[in-house]
A and B are shown apart, each in its own frame.
Chain A
Amino acid sequence: MTVVPPADITLFPDFSQAVYTIRTESFEGPFDLLLHLIKKNEIDIYNIPISAITRQYLEYLDIMKELNLDIAGDFLVMASTLIQIKSRMLLPLPDVEEAGEEEIEDPRAELVRRLLEYSKYKDAAITLSQRELLGRDTFVRNFPAPELDEIKPEQEQPDVEMFELIEAFQRILATVPAETFHEVGAEGLSIADRINELLLLLQGSDAVEFEDLFTGSVIREQVVVTFLAILELCRLKMVKLSQQQSFGTLWVIPVLLEGGDYIVTEEDLDRDFA
């Protein structure tokens, strides 16, 4: 005879019910939440009952708190804005005579404008994501550009040694006449500026000779700044240095796909060139 375990005994108690008491959608921001409330309550966006909406909005924030969701500051800013609008709605309107030329605007107008503007882009985002998306709906052939392969060293060949880089730099320095006078208050030449110039120079080409980046630099200081700029670009992984054989030509290769545009993140710029 087989023993049938009683139905009410479960080996793995179901925690899920306790945990998921409330299901809320996640909202992208205060506008998203407000639009949701407006839609849910079938409210005319041009005539928002501000006190009801404010109450519901605050209830949502409470739910989010209960769910231990981090409430972003933006949500709180909106809460205070709503309360402010609500209080202004309670105030009596100034006399039309007194107001004079200044038009009396509905306290809600600014909020409604921004909500409408936001919903426009929210819709646009949906339309956009429904387009034929590369990598999801349609695919293209991918392979590295052949020109770049020619320049690239074989896999086993190491990248440029520090020593060779310095040697190349010395070669260039040697061609620059040593300055014999001392200049006071020399013209400032920033590395950041030079980086931008170099990026411009590299734009559209697969690789540029190391030496070519120094053409036009006749002052020692310029050479040094250019060199530092190249090092900085290497550090930011925006260029790669490559050499096919020892003592061969040193190539500076912009790191990117198919010679498109150069991306410097805001953080990079802020940190490095502020």
Chain B
Amino acid sequence: MTGTSLKSVVESLLFVSDAPLTLDRLCSILEEYDMNDIRDALAELDADYVREGRGICLAEVAGGWQLRSRQENADFLRRLSRIRPYRFSQSAMETLAIIAYRQPITRSEVEYLRGVDSGGVLKTLLDKKLVRILGKKDIPGRPLIYGTSREFLEAFSLKDLAGLPTLKEVRELTDRDLLEQQEELPLPGMGEKSGTE
């Protein structure tokens, strides 16, 4: 009784909400319900959609829950939307990946890792709101530091940053303190072959 009605309430809320709803938010809206029941309702909904092969699914993104279209139906949905889907160039994806994994990070650190000027790409990512300015780094010049946004998590269907796929580990020659060296060493400085290790 309460179980089914709560499930339907949760479904309505998710249907109407324009952004992922966090469990906290759901709890504050549904104050007369117990958090565990709400969690159960979410799980039940999720199971229902999967079992019945529905056109929507419940996705856990950006720390919340959101109703999304089923991935298998994407071809048809693309015909519906007039907006062209996100298309990322390789440079945009590289820059985004570096920022995602290494945030907070400055532009020069991104460029050091990529080996190319990344100002234009960074600007595009900022415009698309996938990347945001976190503040300024406390080093000479006070460069801006960048990180990924909530929109980034939503766009890539990520629950949180910890949900990023793990980086493929490379053999031990890779210096983990690369960024520390880099602050004084913007170029592959051969003269000052940093003998850190």
Residues of A within 8 A of B (CB): 28-32, 46, 72-74, 77-78, 81, 84-85, 88, 102-103, 105, 107, 109-114, 116-129, 131-145, 256-258, 260-267, 269
B-side contacts of A46, CB under 8 Å: 171, 173
Q: Are the CB atoms of A77 and B90 closer together than 8 Å?
A: no
> Closest Cβ of chain A: how far from B175's Cβ, in Å?
5
Q: Are the CB atoms of A135 and B86 closer together than 8 Å?
A: yes
Q: CB-nearest residue of chain B relative to A264?
A: B133
Q: How far is B154's CA from A138's CA once the two chains are assembled, in angstroms?
A: 11
A134-B155, A140-B68 given as contacts; is B93 within 8 A of A128 (CB)? yes
Q: Are the CB atoms of A121 and B101 closer together than 8 Å?
A: yes
Q: CB-nearest residue of chain A relative to B185?
A: A110
Q: Are the CB atoms of B74 and A136 closer together than 8 Å?
A: yes
> Closest Cβ of chain B: how far from A229's Cβ, in Å?
18
Q: Are the CB atoms of B85 and A74 closer together than 8 Å?
A: no
Q: Are the CB atoms of B193 and A125 closer together than 8 Å?
A: no
Q: Are the CB atoms of A105 and B97 closer together than 8 Å?
A: no
Residues of B within 8 A of A (CB): 15, 18-19, 59, 66-71, 74, 77-78, 81, 83, 85-86, 88, 90-91, 93-94, 96-98, 100-101, 107, 112-117, 119, 122-123, 126-127, 129, 132-133, 144, 149-151, 154-158, 164-165, 167-168, 170-171, 173-175, 178, 187-190, 193-195
Which 9 residue pairs across A and B have the least CB separation, nearest first?
Answer: A29-B116, A125-B93, A136-B85, A125-B97, A31-B115, A124-B97, A139-B69, A132-B157, A138-B68
Q: Are the CB atoms of A140 and B113 closer together than 8 Å?
A: no
A109-B173, A134-B157, A138-B68 given as contacts; is B132 within 8 A of A123 (CB)? no
Q: How far is B100's CA from A129's CA once the two chains are assembled, in angstroms?
A: 13
Q: How far is B151's CA from A256's CA once the two chains are assembled, in angstroms?
A: 12
Total residue contacts A-B, CB cutoff 8 A: 188
B-side contacts of A73, CB under 8 Å: 117
B-side contacts of A109, CB under 8 Å: 173, 193
Q: How far is B97's CA from A139's CA once the two chains are assembled, in angstroms?
A: 22
B-side contacts of A114, CB under 8 Å: 112-113, 115, 178, 188
Q: Are the CB atoms of B116 and A142 closer together than 8 Å?
A: no
> Closest Cβ of chain A: how far from B11's Cβ, in Å?
13
Q: Are the CB atoms of B155 and A138 closer together than 8 Å?
A: no
- Known contacts A28-B94, A113-B175, then 15 further A-B pairs from the complex at CB < 8 Å, ordered by chain A residue: A88-B190, A105-B193, A110-B194, A116-B170, A118-B113, A120-B168, A123-B168, A125-B90, A125-B93, A133-B156, A134-B156, A135-B86, A137-B74, A144-B18, A258-B18
Q: How far is B171's CA from A180's CA once the two chains are assembled, in angstroms?
A: 72
Our pick among B123, B158, B170 for the contact of A265 (Cβ within 8 Å) is: B123
B-side contacts of A103, CB under 8 Å: 195
> Closest Cβ of chain B: how far from A195's Cβ, in Å?
13
Of B90, B150, B158, chain A has the most CB atoms within 10 Å of the CB of B90
A105-B195, A129-B88 given as contacts; is B116 within 8 A of A257 (CB)? no
Q: How far is B131's CA from A260's CA once the two chains are assembled, in angstroms?
A: 12
Q: Are the CB atoms of A120 and B115 closer together than 8 Å?
A: no
